[in-house]
Structure 1
Amino acid sequence: MEAAPDALNPATTETRKGTPAVRAAKDIAFGSAAGIASKFLEHPFDLTKVRLQAQVLDASARFKGPLDCLSQTFKKEGIRGLYRGLPAPIVGAMVENAALFLSYGELQNAVRWASGTQTTQALSLPQLALAAAGAGAITSTLLTPIELVKCKMQVQMLISPSIPPTVLASSTSIPLSAAATATLPPSSAAAAAASLRALPGPLEIITSIYRQFGLRGFWLGHTGTLIRETGGSAAWFSTKEFVASLLIARSPPSLDSSVSRRRRDLKSWESAFSGACAGASYNLALFPADTVKSTMQTEAELRPGSQQGRSFWAVGKEMWAKQGLRGLYAGCGITIARSIPSSAIIFCIYDGLMTRFG
């Protein structure tokens, strides 16, 4: 396959300034800034996605679809409910994008070294996809604990409101079932209302997970995150690079025909458009892995009577038997809808910062 334009490789010496340490610091800072900005836009849709995924194994669905989920959440929980669990995704966005962009650039250098390619030579799209897949695999290890806390917070309001705050705070993994709470005395009504205001925060959830399962417990669902991030990142970066290369190729030549457009010459709308295409491609093929991951990470809260500690493949098999392909793609539509503008924002900000300061 023909190599992508040199401009699309952020690790080349012609498009990056400073020492390796300076370039790494820029990747971390610019990636973090882009990730934070995108989360404020996409979080309500991510919350909807997780809640739709979490109901696949329920006997009866709580929500008819994404719009119904958004509507019910807003009516019952208000704007605050739509942003339930936001601190964890903010941290996750900083970690994810910083790690992705940093690893992506460094792994491109590793691919060049392994293939004997010169530092200034462009990589082919398959080579870029390989570097991106490696970056996704690295990022998944850092991201899984953050996503675990985020998912648990996003389904807290779906747990029976009759659970006393003390129970919620002391154990996020063993809530009372609806049948059990039906036997509580009438005086528990006040406790039920208080529980909605006293839901455990991220630090309490982290403490509970560590107390019950140790460090290993934070990587519940890691297989799903690994599959999603490895394949998704390869699709994300390679789609961005490919679309951007097409936009560069179709542009009129500069006054000096000996100088071709480079990545830093991308207009804002070009970065946004290629990023939007990347966002759509990220989710399509490997979305079922994310569905299984979300189900595993919320099963203790929503189905306390079910068997815990099952493998990724066992949960996936049960979900397939329950609702087939439709269940594995629960929430996919709204996820793609939010990933398109979110990814556009990420690359627009990242490329803009790299053009100005990189």
Structure 2
Amino acid sequence: MKTNNTIQAAIDLTAGAAGGTACVLTGQPFDTAKVKMQTFPNLYRGLADCAVKTYKQTGFRGFYKGTSPALLANISENSVLFMSYGFCQRVVRNLVGLEKNTPLSNLHNATAGSFAAAFASLALCPTELVKCRLQAMHEMKLSGKIIEGHNTVWSVVKSIISTDGPMGLYHGLSSTLLREVPGYFFFFGGYELGRTLFLSGEKTKDQLGVVPLMVSGGIGGISLWLVVFPVDCVKSRIQVLSMTGKQEGFMRTFARILRNEGVLALYSGLMPTLIRAFPANGALFVTYEYSRKLMMQQFED
């Protein structure tokens, strides 16, 4: 198989985009519940209460608020993430002195994923900002924090730019980096560990079927969220509440939540996140691996 670095990057980017699409379509309703419960923990007693109230207030479509920016966020994030992941794997291989075709260990892959997440954060932050604001718009109006809300992606983007300028699209960048960089160490580490556990005989990771990939992706997703969920909670607060004006930074927001609401508030919305993580990230990796494999076959001699 002959693929140069440019072709390999294009394959990883395209397969990552396909995986990101599958991830959103599988888990969007649970992501909506997560953002609502993180930002307004006092409004909801749990996942079931959030689901019932959301349906009563905005109907079934309310669970898919922010789907367009979520698709854009996940496609852009996973395109950059998996393209950078392939590049960072090569960097890690060079740093530890491994030959080109020598398989990386699970630790090496986890490290490459952590490096790649820094690049993905730059693509993710603006689109996730818009997604979070759309998802929590009803609660912001209900709580009286804003008088008039926005119902479309473009109206939210215009509001951000008119109020804070283009750099306003990067509200929450520091907390996004604090979530992504350590989180994707456990994400890729959990995924690769899961694939290792399914190996038997002479079988390689590339020969694993749909079920092992789905389970391994789920392990990776759950590993990520168990580690970084409090950081994600702070990020959601910053990105949603910043629409009311200047929002405090990460450390002050974190301290205020602890002081006023207690440590459990940092885990509000964890249940829908974990429920979502398994099928959504399983779908992501299955779609990514099979899309990548299909495209790689096109370059076989």
Q: CA deviation at 1:200?
A: 3.6
**Secondary structure of 2:141's partner?**
coil
User: Does the C-alpha gap of structure 1 residues 336 and 161 become closer, same or farther in structure 2, counting only changes over 3 Å?
Assistant: closer
Question: Corresponding residue for 1:285?
Answer: 227
- Which has the larger Rg? 1
CA–CA distance in 2 between the matches of 1:234 and 1:63?
A: 32
Per the alignment, residue 202 of structure 1 pairs with 153
For residue 335 of structure 1, what is the aligned residue in structure 2?
Answer: 273
Q: Deviations over 1:72-128 (max 9, x none)?
A: 111221111111111000001111111111111100101122232211112222222
Distance 2:2 2:261 in 1: 52
- In structure 2, which of residues 178, 183, 204 is the aligned counterpart of residue 232 of structure 1? 183
Matched, 1:266 2:208: yes
* Number of residue pairs the alignment of both structures matches: 296
Q: What one-letter code is carried by the residue in structure 1 that aligns with 2:20?
A: G
Higher helix share: 2
Residues 17 and 23 in structure 1, CA contact (< 8 A), matched pair in contact too: no
What is the TM-score of this pair, normalised by structure 2? 0.92
2:60 maps to which residue?
79
Unaligned runs of 5+ in 1: 1-15, 164-173, 177-194, 254-259
Please list every run of 5 or more consecutive structure 2 residues that lacks an aligned counterpart in the other structure.
Answer: 297-301
Deviation at 1:45, TM superposition (A): 0.7
Q: Structure 1 counterpart of 2:233, which letter?
A: T
Please identify runs of 4+ aligned residues in structure 1 that moved more than 4 A. Answer: none
Partner of 2:26, secondary structure, is helix
Distance apart, 1:19 and its partner CA: 1.9
Aligned residue type for 1:208 = S
- Given the superposition, is the C-alpha separation of residues 333 and 77 from structure 1 closer, same or farther in structure 2, using an over 3 Å criterion? same
Q: Residue in 1 aligned with 2:119? A: 138
Q: Is the 8 A contact 1:140 1:222 kept in 2?
A: yes
* Structure-1 residue corresponding to 2:238: 296
Show CA shifts across 1:295-321 (max 9, x none): 0111145xx4xx733111000000011
- Correspondence list, 1:27-46, <5 A: 27-46=12-31
Q: Is the 8 A contact 2:214 2:282 kept in 1?
A: yes
1:104 counterpart residue number: 85
After TM superposition, the score normalised by the length of structure 1 is 0.78
Residue 318 (str. 1) matches residue 260 (str. 2): no
CA contact (8 A) 2:171 2:242 kept: no
Does the 8 Å CA contact 2:13/2:83 hold for their aligned counterparts? yes
Percent of matched pairs sharing the same residue? 30
Secondary structure of the structure 1 residue equivalent to 2:59 = helix
